[in-house]
């Protein structure tokens, strides 16, 4: 029989928040960081605020993020991936804003061609910003997990139980910290050993840059009474 323990998984944050939060949790002053990795505090503050356009250049930004991540004992590859995503979105928004500033002001008149042109440009920009926001939301949102069998708070006398369900593709799924294999469509069917009494099954699902989806199944395994 297996002993199951709950695994605590932290939520994903944007790069700037992760750097700042980790440093504060370790109770390290920016001056100490500067002394250790030789990056000026003003640039450390920029990294922790996410204002990447104020850095000397992309090469410096990536090198400093790697140094800072390693100093804080964080995954530098994951943080560099976060930086690339955030920088790409920021650049696209900046391009849109620059194009918008080049448009001349005109009198408000719904019947004039100029107003119609402005209206459609605004509609396109709003749609693009909405699309970028939706893409970012999809990246960081926890994946969906559907448990088909069994239902929560079930009872059984069997010593094993099949957990059947479906999630999204490219998801890392675990049950009580054990990685579960998925098929190409995200389906899974895993037999779990049960102990006599209450069994607390912790199910976690996470994509590369997403937050973690956590579910809990409570299963009661009853012993057979052969005396009746």
Domain boundaries, the chain: 15-140, 145-221
Which CATH superfamily hosts domain 145-221? Immunoglobulins (2.60.40.10)
Residue 196 binned pLDDT confidence (cut-offs 50, 70, 90): very high
CATH classification (class only), 15-140:
mainly alpha
3-state helix, strand, coil in the chain (%, to 5): 45, 20, 35
Residues 6+ apart with CB under 8 A from 190: 162, 163, 175, 180, 181
Which among 191, 149, 185, 190 is positioned nearest to 170, based on CA atoms? 185
Rounded to the nearest 5 degrees, what angle is found at the Cα of 177, between the Cα atoms of 175 and 183?
50
Q: Is residue 57 pLDDT above 90, yes or no? A: no
> When comparing pLDDT for 42 and 12, which is higher?
42
Q: 187-193 and 178-180: which strand pairing? A: unpaired
Residue 102 binned pLDDT confidence (cut-offs 50, 70, 90): low
pTM above 0.75, yes or no: no
Strand partners, 80: none
pLDDT of residue 122: 82
pLDDT of residue 137: 63
Task: Please check whether residue 105 is in contact with residue 72, taking contact to mean a CB–CB distance below 8 angstroms.
Answer: no
pLDDT > 90: what percent of the chain? Answer: 25
Average pLDDT over residues 202-218: 87
pLDDT of residue 103: 52
CA 189 to chain centre: 25
Q: Is residue 155 pLDDT above 70, yes or no? A: yes
CA 151 to chain centre: 27
Query: How is residue 10 annotated by DSSP?
Result: P
Average pLDDT over residues 17-34: 92
């Amino acid at each position: 029989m297996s002993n199951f323990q709950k695994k605590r998984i932290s939520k994903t944050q944007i790069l700037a928040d992760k750097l700042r939060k980790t440093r504060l949790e370790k109770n390290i002053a920016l001056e100490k960081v500067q002394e250790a990795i030789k990056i000026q505090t003003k640039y450390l503050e920029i990294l922790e605020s996410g204002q990447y356009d104020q850095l000397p250049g992309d090469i410096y930004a990536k090198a400093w993020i790697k140094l800072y991540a390693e100093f804080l004992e964080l995954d530098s590859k994951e943080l560099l991936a976060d930086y690339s995503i955030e920088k790409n979105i920021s650049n696209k928004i900046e391009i849109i804003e620059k194009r918008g500033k080049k448009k001349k002001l005109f009198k408000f008149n719904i019947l004039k061609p100029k107003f119609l042109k402005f209206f459609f440009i605004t509609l396109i920009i709003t749609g693009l910003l909405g699309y970028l926001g939706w893409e970012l939301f999809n990246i960081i949102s926890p994946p969906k997990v559907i448990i088909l069998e069994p239902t929560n708070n079930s009872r059984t006398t069997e010593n094993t139980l099949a957990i059947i369900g479906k999630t999204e593709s490219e998801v890392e799924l675990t049950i009580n910290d054990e990685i579960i294999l998925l098929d190409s469509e995200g389906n899974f069917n895993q037999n779990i050993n049960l102990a006599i009494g209450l069994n607390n099954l912790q199910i976690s699902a996470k994509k590369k840059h997403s937050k973690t989806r956590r579910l809990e199944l409570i299963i009661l395994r009853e012993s057979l009474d052969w005396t009746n």
